[in-house]
Amino acid sequence: MAMLEINNINCFYGNVQALWDVSMNVGEGEIVALLGANGAGKTTLLNTVTGLVKPASGHVSFMGKSLDGVPVHSIMEMGIAYLPEGGRTFPDMSIRENLEMGAYPRSMWKTRKAGIDRMFELFPRLKERSKQMASTLSGGEKQMLAMARGLMSNPKLCLFDELSYGLAPIMVTEVFRIVQSLREDGITVLLVEQNVKQSMEIADRAYVLENGHIALEGPCCDLMDNSYVKKAYLGL
Ligand SMILES: Nc1ncnc2c1ncn2[C@@H]1O[C@H](COP(=O)(O)OP(=O)(O)O)[C@@H](O)[C@H]1O
Ligand SMILES: [Mg+2]
């Protein structure tokens, strides 16, 4: 059984169906990409995993336990970190204070110093700026801070929504390099992205969502060779 199992999700906003019988899974240790254009339903799917959106039907389980009806904070305590689109930071707090705010569940509070040291290893740019207010960081640095704050909870699984969106190309490369390095820490990743090319370069497998349907799925090496993917998503 996979670490995260999403089975037959149907989801509506009012009368409009946003997800159609969507199933996917993420195995322990994998980096899996959920790809698709703006409006495809990617964020909606993540929100059904974290309990923020209730699907009309379908089930989600994590490490063999059903997440149906489980409140968001309990899901986080089970070891899932969710970084929403536009990754949020506390603007009037320093980098260090932002990281301390991520030391949750409470058990993480005791080890927050070691956690922050680990984050400074992963994100040297944050270390150099540890006393700086988050509001003064560049877009890419804010995104790194949001990632680091999420990682302070010592998650087993990270859900990253549009990490690369709006970042300068050099920052995208840096942020994706860090995602890839999370493997060494035993962290599993579900990467939700519009940036198809770079996501496929670092992910093991991908699912392509189109208008609320899974249009394609498979190992990234195969999908990158797929003529439809090349034409529709890679501009080749
Ligand atoms: N809160 C909402 N109320 C109504 N419709 C929504 C809401 N959130 C998203 N949608 C619609 O659901 C579809 C999928 O949106 P979303 O999951 O945000 O896509 P993506 O993250 O892939 O860009 C879109 O058509 C969007 O307009
Ligand atoms: Mg989205």
Residue-wise pLDDT tens digits, 11-34: 999 999 999 999 999 999 999 999
44 touches ligand 1 (CB under 6 Å): yes
Ion ligand 2, residue ranges at CB < 5 A: 42-43
User: For position 205, what pLDDT does the model report?
Assistant: 98
Quick one: pLDDT band at residue 1, thresholds 50, 70, 90?
A: confident
As a whole number of angstroms, the distance between CA 33 and CA 35 comes to: 6
Quick one: pLDDT band at residue 230, thresholds 50, 70, 90?
A: very high
Cα 161 to ligand 1 centre (Å)? 13
Name the closest-CA residue to atom 25, ligand 1: 39
Residue 213 DSSP class: E
41 touches ligand 1 (CB under 6 Å): yes
Q: Domain 1-79+156-166+189-236, CATH 3.40.50.300 — does that match?
A: yes
As a whole number of angstroms, the distance between CA 217 and CA 77 comes to: 30
Quick one: pLDDT band at residue 159, thresholds 50, 70, 90?
A: very high
32 touches ligand 1 (CB under 6 Å): no
Task: Provide the β-strand partners of residue 81.
Answer: 158
Name the closest-CA residue to atom 16, ligand 1: 41
Residues 6+ apart with CB under 8 A from 108: 115, 152, 153, 154
Task: Provide the β-strand partners of residue 205.
Answer: 32, 219
Mutate to test the pocket of ligand 1, among 9, 19, 24, 43 (most ligand atoms within 8 A of CB): 43
Residue-wise pLDDT tens digits, 52-111: 999 999 999 999 999 998 988 899 999 999 999 988 899 999 999 999 999 987 788 888
**Cis before 155? omega within 30:** no
